[in-house]
Amino acid sequence: MTPPNIVLVMADQLAPHFTGTYGHPQVKTPHLDALAARGARFDAAYCHSPLCAPARFTMLAGRSVASIGAWDNATEFPASTPTLAHYLGLAGYRSVLAGKMHFVGPDQLHGFDERITTDIYPADFAWTPNWERADERIDKWYHNMEVVHEAGPAVTTYQIDYDETVGFATRRKLLDIARDDDDRPFFFCASFIHPHDPYVARPQWWDLYNTDAIDLPEPIEPAAVDPHTKRIRVGIEAETVGYTDDQARRARHGYYANTSYFDDQLGRIIATLTETGQIDNTVIIATSDHGDMLGDRGAWFKMSFHERSARVPLVFAGPEVVNAAVPNVCSHLDLLPTLLDIATDGNPWPELANPLEGRSLWPAATGADDPIDETTGEYAAEMTSHPMFMIRRGRHKYIHCDTDPPLLFDIEADPLERINLAGLPEHADLAAAFAAEVAERWDGDAIRERVLASQQSRRVLHAAMAAGQPVSWDHLPENDVANSYVRNHQDWAEVGPKMRYPRVP
């Protein structure tokens, strides 16, 4: 039997807490809701690293930040790192990428057969952090409070332009696949930039919500704010420039509107799969690269292992997938082995270049018990000078950084993470066990030296590239207009029937 197609639809910076699918009373996500209503919703899914490029690289490779050196948003993703696209190709799939993946470096395919749009962000080393000056704000390309202050409706933005292109290109390519004669199963990744800041939405989506009714972030005592969150608040100018409650409401309004916009793009893709007769033979997976604090703890954006930043939506639907809410802790590291299970249907996987660091979620998605209830996370980018590590096991989450006091939370009893159990005598043994596990799993000093060396090298290379003849690594999609639509070297009588779907017998 032919394995099913796989369609992965990604949002950017979408926390599950701010979707109707995961219980938010205001946010409208009807298409994601419908996907979950006929599929499996994973209720404790995490990114491995809460920043765009590291989150995506580790997801694609099925390996951790330290394993592949995916430190930050200006880290090169080496062409020698096998990805899920490579492995699915070995399993007989053709693959297509549309939209954002934040590849840094000259390889802009990483195993995909085709990439039908360019990226929205640069592919060079310009965004390299500097841990030797970790307390200095990064200007020019770094988040600040302008995006909170300027939230509101607009006819278009560069992000809307981009996602409109990605959505159209995706649907057009799915139609092309339906019209061609290639009978291989396909893997299609459609990756959108919304609801990533700036929090500006088209009026169609903005008008779904009433600013005055938007919920504000839950309050927190200043003493409960951890050092890393304070560093983020300083770095994004929340401590200096600040924002008002009205501005926070408008920013959340824009985020909710853009979440509904992303949900509409998801619905259009599902409609195209339905129209082309592929819906019953396609596993659809919806997720995001990471979340958005959206004002929780006084912080915005990501870069944190707190729930709003590190949790992601993860919904499966399609053949063999059961309707269930899966409580087990998991992460993007688990996606590659999951896709290999889908592609091979119980047969041996292709030979792996390196051991994977996740487990397959396909048994849980298809109704079997999952004995594993844990994952890990690593962060080595801006707003810190030392690597940060996270262990989530069962109901507990432990966060470690050499410069900061440890954090230990009971996520079931304290979902807002307001009570740090690490300092309480009754939890001393648990905190000590987690601390010992961190010391055994990670060599923080060695990782820090690798990060510093990488940053220094990339700063020098960026300066050299800026001083010389400009060379762009940004992806340039092919556009073969000479053979598009109808041309005089083609037989018009053949082109029309061939490009019609369904074809006339």
Catalytic residues: 52, 102
* 282 beta partners: 5
* 331 beta partners: 46
Burial of 352 (0-12, 13-18, 19+ CB in 10 A): middle
End-to-end Cα, the chain, rounded Å: 26
Helices (H), 394-443: 428-441
| The pair of three-digit structure tokens given for residue 18, joined into one six-digit string | 């701010």
Distance CA 403, CA 386 (A): 7
Distance CA 344, CA 466 (A): 46
Cα-Cα-Cα-Cα torsion 113, 115, 119, 123, nearest 10 degrees, comes to: 40
CA 264 to chain centre: 18
110: number of CA atoms within 13 Å, CB side? Answer: 23
Distance CA 172, CA 294 (A): 34
Angle at which helix 158-179 crosses helix 245-275, to 10 degrees, equals: 10
Burial of 494 (0-12, 13-18, 19+ CB in 10 A): exposed
Written as one letter, the residue type at 206 is: W
Q: CB of 326 within 8 A of CB of 40?
A: yes
| The pair of three-digit structure tokens given for residue 398, joined into one six-digit string | 């432990």
